[in-house]
Amino acid sequence: MAAEAFADGGEPGGGAVAGCRTRRRVWGAGVVTSSRALSDLVGRSRAQLLEVVSQPLSTTELARGLGLSAGAISQHLGILHRAGLLDRARDGHTMLYSRTPLGDQLVD
C-alpha cells in the first residue's frame, strides 16, 4: 500500500502522492519553529492555551485573554487535560488550569 502511494515510486517527498493535484518536496524544507510546530500538532487555539497556562488560570481569564468564548476554551481545556498536558485544581467555585510537566516539555 505504501509503495503505491507514491506516483513515481521514489522516496517520500520525492514525488507526488497518487490522487494529489500538486507536487511538493518536503525533505529539507526548512526548520519549523517550536510554536509553529505545536500549532500544527494540536491546533492554533490549543497551542495558545498551552503557551499561556504557565501559571494557574481560570476558563474566564483564558477566554478574555485569548478572545474566545468560555465554551470553546472549556472544550479545548478538556481535551488538553485528557491528553495529560494540563492539570486542574479547584479554588472555591473556580477551576484553575496549569501545564503538567509533559505540557511544559511540549511547549519548550
Computed over every residue of the chain, the mean pLDDT equals 75
CATH no., domain 34-107: 1.10.10.10
Q: What is the dihedral of CA 9, 10, 14, 18, to 10 degrees?
A: 10
CA distance 85 to 97: 10
Does the model's pTM come out above 0.75? no
Q: In this predicted model, what pLDDT tens digit does every residue of 49-107 receive, in sequence order?
A: 888 998 999 999 999 998 999 999 999 999 999 999 999 999 999 999 999 999 998 88
Q: In this predicted model, what pLDDT tens digit does every residue of 62-75 receive, in sequence order?
A: 999 989 999 999 99
Confidence of residue 37 (pLDDT cuts 50, 70, 90): confident
Would residue 63 be called left, alpha or beta, if left means φ above 0 and alpha means ψ between -120 and 50 degrees? alpha
Any idea what DSSP says for residue 47? H
Task: Parse the chain into domains and list their residue ranges.
Answer: 1-30, 34-107
Geometric angle at alpha carbon 28, from 49 and 26, rounded to 5°? 70
